[in-house]
Amino acid sequence: MLGKASLCLLAPALLLPALLAPLQLWRQVQLAASWSPFWHTNTHLAAHCPLKAVTCVTDLRCLQAVACINTCMLDNLHAWDKVAQCAYLCEMTHGYENEPLHDLLNCMLANGVLEQYPQDGPCLGGDGDAVGHVTSMADIQGDWWVVFGVNCGAPPYPGGYDWYPCQHERFLLQENGQWINNVTYCGGGQDTCTTDIIVPSPTSPCPHRGWCTMTMWTPPWPPSPRTGAWSPSPTPTTPS
Protein backbone atom coordinates (compact mmCIF):
# COMPACT_ATOMS: atom_id res chain seq x y z
CA MET A 1 0.00 0.00 0.00
CA LEU A 2 2.78 2.42 0.81
CA GLY A 3 4.18 1.89 -2.67
CA LYS A 4 0.88 3.01 -4.20
CA ALA A 5 0.72 5.99 -1.88
CA SER A 6 4.26 6.96 -2.81
CA LEU A 7 3.25 6.87 -6.48
CA CYS A 8 0.25 9.03 -5.60
CA LEU A 9 2.48 11.64 -4.00
CA LEU A 10 5.23 11.35 -6.62
CA ALA A 11 3.01 12.03 -9.65
CA PRO A 12 1.94 15.52 -8.56
CA ALA A 13 5.53 16.28 -7.55
CA LEU A 14 6.77 15.49 -11.04
CA LEU A 15 4.12 17.75 -12.58
CA LEU A 16 4.70 20.72 -10.27
CA PRO A 17 7.59 22.36 -12.17
CA ALA A 18 5.46 22.49 -15.32
CA LEU A 19 2.32 23.78 -13.60
CA LEU A 20 3.60 26.31 -11.06
CA ALA A 21 4.92 29.82 -11.51
CA PRO A 22 8.45 30.45 -10.13
CA LEU A 23 7.13 32.07 -6.92
CA GLN A 24 4.70 29.20 -6.38
CA LEU A 25 7.47 26.67 -7.01
CA TRP A 26 9.64 28.38 -4.38
CA ARG A 27 6.74 28.37 -1.93
CA GLN A 28 6.20 24.67 -2.65
CA VAL A 29 9.79 24.08 -1.53
CA GLN A 30 9.13 26.14 1.61
CA LEU A 31 5.94 24.20 2.30
CA ALA A 32 7.73 20.88 1.84
CA ALA A 33 10.30 21.94 4.44
CA SER A 34 7.66 22.07 7.18
CA TRP A 35 6.26 19.15 9.16
CA SER A 36 2.81 20.72 9.38
CA PRO A 37 0.82 20.63 7.22
CA PHE A 38 2.94 19.08 4.44
CA TRP A 39 4.58 16.04 6.01
CA HIS A 40 1.91 15.53 8.65
CA THR A 41 -0.73 15.29 5.93
CA ASN A 42 1.27 13.18 3.48
CA THR A 43 2.62 10.65 5.98
CA HIS A 44 -0.82 10.15 7.53
CA LEU A 45 -2.34 9.96 4.05
CA ALA A 46 0.10 7.22 3.05
CA ALA A 47 -0.57 5.32 6.26
CA HIS A 48 -4.37 5.55 6.35
CA CYS A 49 -5.82 6.41 2.93
CA PRO A 50 -3.44 5.20 0.17
CA LEU A 51 -6.05 3.57 -2.07
CA LYS A 52 -8.41 6.55 -1.77
CA ALA A 53 -5.54 8.84 -2.73
CA VAL A 54 -4.63 6.75 -5.78
CA THR A 55 -8.26 6.76 -6.92
CA CYS A 56 -8.36 10.55 -6.55
CA VAL A 57 -5.25 11.29 -8.62
CA THR A 58 -6.53 9.04 -11.42
CA ASP A 59 -9.82 11.00 -11.57
CA LEU A 60 -9.49 14.32 -13.43
CA ARG A 61 -11.94 16.37 -11.34
CA CYS A 62 -10.60 15.05 -8.06
CA LEU A 63 -7.04 15.79 -9.16
CA GLN A 64 -8.10 19.30 -10.23
CA ALA A 65 -9.65 19.91 -6.81
CA VAL A 66 -6.53 18.72 -4.96
CA ALA A 67 -4.28 20.80 -7.23
CA CYS A 68 -6.51 23.82 -6.66
CA ILE A 69 -6.29 23.38 -2.86
CA ASN A 70 -2.51 23.07 -3.12
CA THR A 71 -2.43 26.34 -5.07
CA CYS A 72 -4.49 27.95 -2.30
CA MET A 73 -1.82 26.95 0.21
CA LEU A 74 0.96 28.31 -1.97
CA ASP A 75 -0.75 31.60 -2.79
CA ASN A 76 -1.61 32.13 0.90
CA LEU A 77 1.52 30.65 2.46
CA HIS A 78 2.07 33.84 4.45
CA ALA A 79 -1.63 34.49 5.03
CA TRP A 80 -2.65 31.04 6.24
CA ASP A 81 -6.00 32.17 7.62
CA LYS A 82 -7.20 32.76 4.04
CA VAL A 83 -6.56 29.18 2.87
CA ALA A 84 -9.88 27.77 4.13
CA GLN A 85 -12.05 30.08 2.01
CA CYS A 86 -9.94 29.45 -1.08
CA ALA A 87 -10.01 25.68 -0.55
CA TYR A 88 -13.78 25.80 -0.04
CA LEU A 89 -14.22 27.22 -3.55
CA CYS A 90 -11.99 24.47 -4.96
CA GLU A 91 -14.19 21.85 -3.32
CA MET A 92 -17.43 23.51 -4.42
CA THR A 93 -16.35 23.86 -8.06
CA HIS A 94 -13.85 21.17 -9.18
CA GLY A 95 -14.85 18.80 -6.38
CA TYR A 96 -18.61 19.30 -6.22
CA GLU A 97 -20.41 15.93 -6.09
CA ASN A 98 -17.14 14.16 -6.97
CA GLU A 99 -17.22 10.73 -5.37
CA PRO A 100 -13.43 10.07 -5.32
CA LEU A 101 -12.85 13.40 -3.51
CA HIS A 102 -15.77 12.70 -1.15
CA ASP A 103 -14.30 9.29 -0.26
CA LEU A 104 -10.79 10.70 0.17
CA LEU A 105 -11.90 13.55 2.44
CA ASN A 106 -14.06 11.26 4.57
CA CYS A 107 -11.11 8.88 5.01
CA MET A 108 -8.82 11.78 5.92
CA LEU A 109 -11.32 13.13 8.44
CA ALA A 110 -11.87 9.73 10.02
CA ASN A 111 -8.13 9.16 10.49
CA GLY A 112 -6.97 12.57 11.67
CA VAL A 113 -5.12 13.36 8.46
CA LEU A 114 -6.56 16.88 8.14
CA GLU A 115 -5.64 19.60 10.59
CA GLN A 116 -8.12 22.22 11.79
CA TYR A 117 -8.26 25.48 9.83
CA PRO A 118 -7.94 28.71 11.84
CA GLN A 119 -11.20 30.17 13.17
CA ASP A 120 -12.70 32.65 10.72
CA GLY A 121 -13.46 35.50 13.09
CA PRO A 122 -15.82 35.78 16.06
CA CYS A 123 -19.61 35.43 15.96
CA LEU A 124 -21.20 38.80 16.70
CA GLY A 125 -24.67 37.51 17.54
CA GLY A 126 -26.01 36.04 20.74
CA ASP A 127 -29.28 34.58 21.96
CA GLY A 128 -30.62 38.03 22.79
CA ASP A 129 -29.96 39.45 19.31
CA ALA A 130 -32.54 37.39 17.41
CA VAL A 131 -35.67 39.22 16.29
CA GLY A 132 -38.73 37.83 18.05
CA HIS A 133 -41.25 38.07 15.22
CA VAL A 134 -39.57 35.34 13.12
CA THR A 135 -41.18 32.18 14.44
CA SER A 136 -41.41 30.01 11.32
CA MET A 137 -39.97 29.70 7.84
CA ALA A 138 -43.17 31.20 6.44
CA ASP A 139 -42.11 34.53 8.02
CA ILE A 140 -39.05 34.71 5.76
CA GLN A 141 -40.41 32.95 2.68
CA GLY A 142 -39.28 34.41 -0.63
CA ASP A 143 -36.16 35.87 -2.26
CA TRP A 144 -33.34 37.62 -0.42
CA TRP A 145 -30.17 39.23 -1.77
CA VAL A 146 -27.02 39.62 0.34
CA VAL A 147 -26.04 43.27 -0.09
CA PHE A 148 -23.47 43.66 2.68
CA GLY A 149 -22.02 41.86 5.71
CA VAL A 150 -19.25 41.85 8.28
CA ASN A 151 -17.19 38.94 6.90
CA CYS A 152 -15.53 40.73 3.99
CA GLY A 153 -11.85 39.75 4.17
CA ALA A 154 -10.74 42.43 6.62
CA PRO A 155 -9.43 41.33 10.06
CA PRO A 156 -10.69 39.48 12.01
CA TYR A 157 -12.68 37.90 9.13
CA PRO A 158 -10.09 36.63 6.63
CA GLY A 159 -12.51 34.37 4.74
CA GLY A 160 -14.59 37.13 3.20
CA TYR A 161 -17.64 34.91 2.80
CA ASP A 162 -20.01 37.90 2.76
CA TRP A 163 -17.92 39.31 -0.10
CA TYR A 164 -18.97 36.61 -2.57
CA PRO A 165 -20.80 38.14 -5.55
CA CYS A 166 -24.35 37.32 -6.57
CA GLN A 167 -25.49 35.88 -3.23
CA HIS A 168 -29.18 35.15 -3.65
CA GLU A 169 -31.21 33.09 -1.17
CA ARG A 170 -34.68 31.68 -1.81
CA PHE A 171 -36.60 30.20 1.10
CA LEU A 172 -38.99 27.71 -0.50
CA LEU A 173 -41.55 25.20 0.76
CA GLN A 174 -41.33 21.95 -1.19
CA GLU A 175 -44.26 19.68 -2.00
CA ASN A 176 -43.11 17.21 0.67
CA GLY A 177 -43.44 19.93 3.34
CA GLN A 178 -39.68 20.44 3.72
CA TRP A 179 -38.33 24.00 3.71
CA ILE A 180 -35.11 24.63 1.81
CA ASN A 181 -32.88 27.64 1.32
CA ASN A 182 -31.99 27.58 -2.39
CA VAL A 183 -28.71 29.52 -2.40
CA THR A 184 -26.74 30.77 -5.40
CA TYR A 185 -23.39 32.57 -5.30
CA CYS A 186 -19.96 32.50 -6.87
CA GLY A 187 -16.36 32.99 -5.85
CA GLY A 188 -14.86 36.43 -6.50
CA GLY A 189 -15.22 39.96 -5.18
CA GLN A 190 -17.48 42.98 -5.61
CA ASP A 191 -19.61 42.20 -8.70
CA THR A 192 -17.12 39.95 -10.52
CA CYS A 193 -17.36 36.14 -10.44
CA THR A 194 -14.15 34.13 -10.72
CA THR A 195 -15.92 30.75 -10.56
CA ASP A 196 -19.07 29.22 -11.97
CA ILE A 197 -22.29 29.81 -10.04
CA ILE A 198 -22.53 27.51 -6.98
CA VAL A 199 -25.97 26.21 -5.97
CA PRO A 200 -26.28 24.39 -2.61
CA SER A 201 -29.81 23.88 -1.21
CA PRO A 202 -29.71 23.40 2.58
CA THR A 203 -32.80 22.45 4.54
CA SER A 204 -33.95 25.26 6.84
CA PRO A 205 -36.18 24.60 9.86
CA CYS A 206 -36.64 27.35 12.50
CA PRO A 207 -36.89 25.52 15.83
CA HIS A 208 -36.67 28.64 18.03
CA ARG A 209 -37.97 32.19 17.86
CA GLY A 210 -35.64 34.19 15.61
CA TRP A 211 -33.28 31.25 15.04
CA CYS A 212 -33.03 28.95 12.01
CA THR A 213 -30.90 25.85 11.52
CA MET A 214 -29.64 25.08 8.02
CA THR A 215 -28.33 21.62 7.18
CA MET A 216 -25.82 22.24 4.40
CA TRP A 217 -25.65 19.55 1.71
CA THR A 218 -22.45 20.62 -0.03
CA PRO A 219 -20.67 17.59 -1.49
CA PRO A 220 -17.87 16.56 -1.19
CA TRP A 221 -18.45 17.33 2.50
CA PRO A 222 -20.98 15.43 4.65
CA PRO A 223 -24.15 17.25 5.80
CA SER A 224 -23.28 20.12 8.14
CA PRO A 225 -25.81 21.82 10.48
CA ARG A 226 -25.41 25.58 10.93
CA THR A 227 -27.53 27.70 13.26
CA GLY A 228 -28.01 31.44 12.77
CA ALA A 229 -30.13 34.24 14.14
CA TRP A 230 -32.28 36.71 12.24
CA SER A 231 -31.17 40.02 13.71
CA PRO A 232 -31.04 43.74 12.84
CA SER A 233 -28.39 44.67 10.25
CA PRO A 234 -24.81 44.81 11.60
CA THR A 235 -22.36 47.51 10.59
CA PRO A 236 -20.58 46.41 7.37
CA THR A 237 -16.79 46.39 7.10
CA THR A 238 -14.58 47.43 4.20
CA PRO A 239 -12.75 44.58 2.37
CA SER A 240 -8.98 44.57 2.57
158-181 per-position pLDDT tens digit: 888 888 888 888 888 888 888 888
User: Looking at residues 217-230, what average pLDDT do you find?
Assistant: 61
Q: How far is CA 168 from CA 45, 78, 150, 239, in A?
A: 38, 32, 17, 20
Q: Which domain holds residue 208?
A: 127-229
pLDDT at residue 49, as a whole number: 94
Of 3-7, 35-39, 129-133, give the lowest mean pLDDT range: 3-7
Residue 118 lies in a domain: no
Q: State the Cα–Cα distance between residues 129 and 147, nearest whole angstrom.
A: 20
Residue 68 lies in a domain: yes
Q: Both 14 and 100 in a single domain?
A: yes
Residue 122 lies in a domain: no
pLDDT, mean over the chain: 78
Q: Both 20 and 56 in a single domain?
A: yes
Q: How far is CA 43 from CA 2, 66, 80, 87, in A?
A: 10, 16, 21, 21
Q: Both 131 and 105 in a single domain?
A: no
Q: Both 137 and 101 in a single domain?
A: no
Q: Both 70 and 156 in a single domain?
A: no
Q: Both 103 and 136 in a single domain?
A: no
Residue 120 lies in a domain: no
Q: Both 103 and 134 in a single domain?
A: no
Report the number of distinct structural domains present in the chain.
2
